[in-house]
Chain A
Amino acid sequence: MLVLALAVASVAGADESQKWLERMNQALTTLNYDGVFSHWQGGKVETLHIIHRVQDGAVTERLVSLDGSGREFIRTGSELACYLPDQRTVLVERQPPATLLLGSLPNFEAATSEFYEIKAAKSTRLLGRRAQLIVVNPKDQYRYGYRLWIEESTGMPLRTELCDGHGRVIEQVVFASIAWPTHIPDSAFKPDLSADSFRWLREESGPLAAGGTPMLWTALKLPPGFRMSVRAAQKMPGARYPVAHLVFTDGLASVSVFVESHTHVSHALSGSTQVGSSSAFTTVVDGHPVTAVGEVPPETVQLIANSMKAESRASAPARSPFDSAIPPLDPTPLQLDLAHGPVSALH
C-alpha cells in the first residue's frame, strides 16, 4: 500500500513539475520583464541586460551586452536589428508581419518522461523571492539535463542550468536583478548609441528552390525516444542549392540534420565540434555533406548524422505534397492559425 502511495505520489509529482515548466514557458513568452543576468558558458561569463515587452500581441525586446562591447540587438515589430559598434555595423532583418508570438514549447508527453526524470526539488529564495527548483534528469547518455529555479509568482526562471549526465554544468544563466513592469515605454528599446554613421546591412534572402530537395532523407537509426518532427528544404545564405533540414526530437531536446542536395568534394569536413552548448557533427553520406546540430551530447549528433539515408524522389512512390511517408491525417482538425501558433498539448 505504501509502495502504491509512493508511486502515485511520484507520478503526481512529475505532473506537478511539468506544470512548473509550462508556467515557465508562458512567462518567457508572454510577460514584460526587465532584468540583468550573467551567462556562464565555456569558461567565460558575460553580463547582459534584457528588456522584454508584450503589448497588443507584439513582442518587443532588447538585449544589451554590459561587458564593454556595446553590442545589442533590438526586436521591434517586424524588424530585428543587431548593433555592432565595434564593427560600426548594424545588421537588420525584416520579419513577416504575422510574427508568431508562441514559439516552440517542449512536448511534455508521456514519452518525454520515459527519457527524463522531471521532479520538483526544494523551494528556495533567490533575489528575495521564492523560487521552486525543478530538476530534469536525463535517463541516458543521449541527452542533457536542466536545473531551473522558477519564481513562484511569475513563473520566470531566475536561474537556469544546462547539465550533462554527470551533473556537470554546461551553461548557466543567473539573473542578478529582475522586474516585471506593467508598462515599458518605447524609449526603453532605443539603442544606446547613435548608429547613423554605421554601415547598415539588410538581410539577404535567397529564394527557395520550389519543390524542395531532390532526395528524401531519413534516419535509419535514432537514439531512444527521438523521432522526426520536421522535414523541410531551406535556402542557406550564400549556398547555391537548397539544403534538406530535418529535425529530430525526444520532446525536450532536438537535433537538426542538414543535408546538402548536391554532392561535392570541396570542404568535405568531418568530425565533432562544439559551438556554444551545441554539439555538431559533420560527415558525408553517399557523397552528400551531412551536418547534425543540437543541444545534446556529442555522441547523439554523431549517431544521428551517421545513420542518415536517402531515397530518391523519383524512385519513391507518388506522394502528396505533404509527403505521405506517414499516413496522411485529415487536415481539417489542425486548423492551423499561424497568427496564434500551434494547437499543442499544452493548451
Chain B
Amino acid sequence: MTNEELESQLSAMFDDELPEPECELLARRLARDEALKARWGRYATIGAVLRMERGVRTHSGLVRAVSVAVAAEPSVLATARARELVRPAVRRWWQPVAGAAVAAGVAFASIVWMRSEAPGAPGAPEVAQVQPAPAAAVARSTAPDSYVVPTVDPTATGSTPPFIPPAELADYVVAHSEFSAPLLRHSALSSLVTADPGTGNAASAPTGGDNDQQK
C-alpha cells in the first residue's frame, strides 16, 4: 500500500467512513507500525489544531487518546465501532497526559490522590448523591482497587453545596488537567500526594499576598 493510499485509508477511518473489514486490517497494521500510529495521532491533532487560533497548543493527550486505540487489540478497535465494549473488570483511572514538566503527574496522580476522608469500608457500593446531602456516605467505586472519590469535607469553606462526584467526574477532572495552565498544574501538585486526613495540617486561609501597591 502506498503512502498515499495509507493516508487516505487513515483519513477515512478517522472520519468513520472506512468499511469494517478494511478498518480491521488497518487497525492491525497500526498496532504494529509506530510511524503509522504517530500519523494517526496527527490526524486527531491536526483537526484540533486547525480549529485553534494562533498560539496552537498541541497536547500529547490528543495523540495519546488516539494512540491508545491502536495500542490495544486491533480487533477490539474494529469491534468498538459496532459493538458494545465489555467493561473492564480492572479498576479504572485516567491515563496521564504527557507534556510540560508536571502535567502528566498531575493528570495521573490527581485521580488517585483525591482526598480520601472515608470512614466507609472498601467495597461499599457507589453512591452518587445529588446535592444537598449533608450526611452523605462515602462514595467508592465497587472495584476494590479503584481510586477514591472525594467525599464531603465538613470543614470546607465555600458556597458550593455538598456533592459527591462519582468516579466519572474524577476522570473528567484529570482529563481536563492537561489543558490547565502550567501554573495551575504546578500548583495542583499537591492534589497528587494528598496526605490522609489527620496527617494534613489544617490551616487558615492565607492572606492575599503582599500588598502590591507597595514598591
| Pair B69/A344 contact, Cβ less than 8 Å | no
Whether B209 pairs with A161 at a CB distance below 8 angstroms is yes
**B interface footprint on A268-303 (CB within 8 Å = 1, 0 otherwise):** 011111111111101000000001011100100000
A269 touches B166 (CB 8 A): yes
Task: Pick the residue among B42, B78, B100, B150 that contacts A338 (CB under 8 A).
Answer: B42
Q: Which listed residue, B58, B77, B110, B150, touches A341 by the CB 8 Å rule?
A: B58
Residues of A contacting B189 with CB < 8 Å?
37, 39, 48, 50, 63, 173
Q: Is A138 part of the binding interface, using a Cβ–Cβ cutoff of 8 Å?
A: no
The reply to whether A63 and B51 form a contact with Cβ atoms under 8 Å apart is: no
5 contacts between A and B (CB under 8 A): A206-B72, A240-B84, A276-B173, A321-B15, A334-B46
Q: Which chain B residues lie closer than 8 Å to A109 at the CB level?
A: 53-55
Assembled-state Cα–Cα distance A205/B76 (Å):
12
Q: Given the known inter-chain contacts A44-B203, A104-B59, please indicate yes or no for A82 contacting B95, CB distance below 8 A.
A: no
The interface residues of chain A lying within 8 Å CB-to-CB of B114 are 275-276
> In this assembly, does B25 line the interface, its C-beta being within 8 Å of a C-beta of chain A?
no
The smallest beta-carbon distance between B197 and chain A, in angstroms, is: 8
Contact B93 A203 (CB under 8 A): yes
Which of A42, A204, A234 makes the CB contact (< 8 A) with B65? A234
Q: Answer whether residue B176 sits at the interface, using C-beta atoms and an 8 A cutoff.
A: yes
Within 8 A of B (CB), among A290-347: 291, 293-295, 298, 313, 319-323, 325-326, 328-329, 331, 334, 336, 338, 341-346
**CB within 8 Å of B: which residues of A?**
24-25, 28-29, 37, 39-46, 48, 50, 52, 59, 61, 63-65, 67-69, 71-73, 75, 80, 82, 84, 86-87, 89, 91, 93, 95-96, 98-107, 109, 121-122, 124, 133, 135, 146-149, 157, 159-163, 167-169, 171-173, 199, 201, 203-212, 227-241, 245, 247, 249, 251-256, 258, 267, 269-280, 282, 291, 293-295, 298, 313, 319-323, 325-326, 328-329, 331, 334, 336, 338, 341-346
Residues of A within 8 A of B195 (CB): 44, 46, 65, 67-69
Whether the pair A48, B193 counts as a contact (CB closer than 8 A) is yes
Q: In the assembled complex, how far is the CB of residue B139 from the closest CB belonging to chain A, in whole angstroms?
A: 11
- Chain B contact surface mostly: loop
How far is B215's CA from A317's CA once the two chains are assembled, in angstroms? 59
Does A322 lie within 8 Å of B181, measured CB to CB? no
In angstroms, Cα B100 to Cα A159, docked, is: 19
CA distance A207 to B18 in the complex (A): 17
* Smallest CB separation, B156 vs chain A (Å): 6
Whether A236 touches B42, Cβ cut-off 8 Å, given contacts A40-B206, A61-B105, A321-B11, is no
- Is there contact, CB below 8 Å, between B94 and A271? no
Rounded to whole angstroms, the CA-CA distance of A92 and B15 in the bound complex is 32
User: B41, A345: Cβ atoms under 8 Å?
Assistant: no
Give which listed residue, A52, A93, A105, A149, contacts B96 with CB less than 8 A. A93
- A207 and B53 form a contact (CB under 8 A): no
Partner of B67, one of A96, A149, A239: A96
Instruction: Kindly list chain A residues whose C-beta atoms are within 8 Å of the C-beta of B48.
Output: 229-232
- From residue B64, how far is it (CB to closest CB) to chain A in Å? 7
By the criterion CB–CB under 8 Å, are A210 and B60 in contact?
no
Is B52 in the interface zone, CB < 8 Å from A?
Answer: yes
B33 within 8 A of A: no
Residues of A within 8 A of B18 (CB): 210
What separation, in Å, do the CA atoms of A133 and B62 have in the docked complex? 34
Contacts of B215 in A (CB 8 A): 121-122
A237 touches which one: B38, B93, B176 (CB < 8 A)? B93
Kindly state whether residue B199 has any CB partner on chain A within 8 Å.
Answer: yes
- In the bound complex, residues from chain A placing their C-beta under 8 Å from that of B84 are 240
A281 smallest CB distance to B (angstroms): 10
Q: With CB as the reference atom, state the residue of chain A lying closest to B153.
A: A42
**Cα separation A68 to B163 with both chains bound (whole Å):** 28
